[in-house]
Amino acid sequence: MWFVHVNHKKVFESEDKETAEEVLKTLKNITSDSDNIINFTLTTRDAPINGKLYKKVMKAVKEFNTGLIDEEIGDLLKDLPSPLNPRVYGKTEPSTEPPKNVVKNLLAASEARDFEWAKREWEFRGEIIEETSPDFSNCQLCGQANLETNCIIHNIYNGNSLKVGNICVRRFLIINQSSSIEESQDLFDAIYNRSVYVKMLQRLIPSLADEVISESTLLKLIDICKSYFGETFDEGKFKELISILNVGGTHIEKILYCIATDDLKSLRHLVKVKQLKDKVPNYWGKMRARVTTTLSHSGAYRV
């Protein structure tokens, strides 16, 4: 069973991981304009239920599809309190004012003796610690355990590194020589998301070596590449990605290039696709229709 948690409360469950992933993505999109700190997680670990949100999400997914979740769910998400533990931070609303233990732990690992300078000494290189990793027990800044999104930060002066929760980085640090906390948060989110997309691609890459790939794999690749590159394709960014994935000069690079540049007509000469059965829920909507139309006419599809 797969569970979607929002602020450490269960809001969706499914035996199908792909369905849970789509719900998670849609919920994140709903809150894209929210200023609240909201913690989203896909996990196999159960949790207490957020009753109202659970009922609405389950109903929306059952009756429609994840792209049609109503605005009421968005309102519920935006009204959620911060996931931070009030016993640690003294209140539920996020604050950039650091607790004493955060100040103490950061100064102990930094060169500067003043917190305002010390918080600018650190950089995030995109190293993510999985929730289930045995290498992470407690955030080395605030001391909280069982955090679901964690990373490694590095001191640019003394080489020290800390394993910390994402929330501490976003709330208290100004990373990678950013000029403000807001710029730092945007930069952290961009680097973190890029790392997540790379990990997702790395899990899918082996399947591209198969003679026939599944339609769900193809749609995931298109979705990930669209998120990774945004609206405008960047050649330099693509070369960097190919280097990270270590697929330069291969058939896989050609496939990814066609996907990244939205060149489905060329893609149809490179892949054979096993189509999803009609009983499988369609979570990709118009994108799936366009892919099906373009590739099926070429004979790339194999039912």
User: Is 204 inside a domain boundary?
Assistant: no
Q: Indicate if 167 and 226 belong to the same structural domain.
A: no
Q: Indicate if 76 and 119 belong to the same structural domain.
A: no
pLDDT on residue 286:
53
User: Is 202 inside a domain boundary?
Assistant: no
User: Is 43 inside a domain boundary?
Assistant: yes
User: Is 10 inside a domain boundary?
Assistant: yes
Q: Indicate if 148 and 175 belong to the same structural domain.
A: yes
CB 58 within 8 A of CB 117: no
Is the model more confident about 83 or about 274? Answer: 274
User: Is 62 inside a domain boundary?
Assistant: yes
Q: Indicate if 61 and 96 belong to the same structural domain.
A: no
Query: Average pLDDT of the chain?
Result: 81
Q: Indicate if 98 and 165 belong to the same structural domain.
A: yes
**pLDDT band at 120; cut points 50, 70, 90:** very high
pLDDT of 218 over the 50 cut: yes
pLDDT on residue 223:
82
pLDDT of 220 over the 80 cut: yes
Q: Indicate if 121 and 48 belong to the same structural domain.
A: no
Last residue of a domain, one of 49, 83, 117: 83
Q: Indicate if 242 and 152 belong to the same structural domain.
A: no
Q: Is the full-model pTM beyond 0.85?
A: no
The number of beta carbons lying within 10 Å of the beta carbon of residue 109 is 17
pLDDT on residue 250:
92
Q: Indicate if 115 and 39 belong to the same structural domain.
A: no
pLDDT tens-place string over residues 229-248? 877 889 999 999 999 999 99
CB 2 within 8 A of CB 42: yes
Q: Which residues contact 23 (CB under 8 A, 6 or more apart)?
A: 4, 12, 14, 57, 61, 66
pLDDT on residue 66:
66
Q: Indicate if 170 and 260 belong to the same structural domain.
A: no
Domain range for residue 33?
2-83
Q: Indicate if 30 and 110 belong to the same structural domain.
A: no
**pLDDT band at 87; cut points 50, 70, 90:** very low
pLDDT of 17 over the 80 cut: yes
Last residue of a domain, one of 62, 83, 104: 83
Last residue of a domain, one of 30, 54, 83: 83
How many domains is the chain partitioned into structurally?
A: 3
User: Taking Cα atoms as reference points, which of 147, 192, 153, 149 lies closest to residue 172?
Assistant: 153
User: Is 70 inside a domain boundary?
Assistant: yes
Residues 221, 227, 229, 233, Cα dihedral to 10° = 80
Q: Indicate if 99 and 183 belong to the same structural domain.
A: yes
Q: Indicate if 52 and 106 belong to the same structural domain.
A: no
User: Is 196 inside a domain boundary?
Assistant: no
Backbone angles phi, psi at 125, to 5 degrees: -105, 10
User: Is 111 inside a domain boundary?
Assistant: yes
pLDDT tens-place string over residues 162-215? 999 988 999 999 999 899 998 999 999 889 888 988 988 998 999 888 888 888
